[in-house]
Amino acid sequence: MITAYDLYQQPLKVILAAGILLLWTLLWKGIGLWYAAQEKKKGWFLAILVLNTAGLLPIIYLIWFREKEKMKPQEETTEREELKAKKVLRKKAKKTHEENRRE
């Protein structure tokens, strides 16, 4: 069993553990705050900012509550239009090639 006296005798271990926990918390808190701000979720932003949960709250937010990146309808339409345009170009090239053969 570790007592307070043992920790007092070995401050390097305590400082090292606290430093690792600090870096872990800052990393996850920063990522969570970034995504909450980008998605304009004020409640999550304030909760992550104020509550110190050793990185657990930001991880929970990022896994279950963050909006997943979805393809926008405009992007889908653009891709469809590109495919149609390619098909039309292929048909035109094929027709031109056949016409050139005939001549």
Q: Tens digits of per-residue pLDDT, 27-39?
A: 999 999 999 999 9
32: tokens are: 């969570």
User: How would DSSP label each residue in 59-71?
Assistant: HHIIIIISPPP--
Better-scored residue on pLDDT, 58 or 99: 58
Q: Tell me how far CA of residue 89 lies from CA of 77, 78, 84, in angstroms.
A: 18, 16, 9
How far is Cα of residue 18 from the mean position of the Cα atoms in its chain? 27
Side chain identity at 17, as an amino acid letter?
A
Domain residue spans in the chain? 1-68, 70-103
- pLDDT beyond 70 at 103: no
Secondary-structure percent of the chain, ordered helix, strand, coil, rounded to 5: 80, 0, 20
Provide mean pLDDT across the span 24-28: 93
| Residues 34-59 pLDDT 10s | 999 999 999 999 999 999 888 888 98
Q: What is the pLDDT of residue 76?
A: 61
Is pTM beyond 0.75? Reply is no
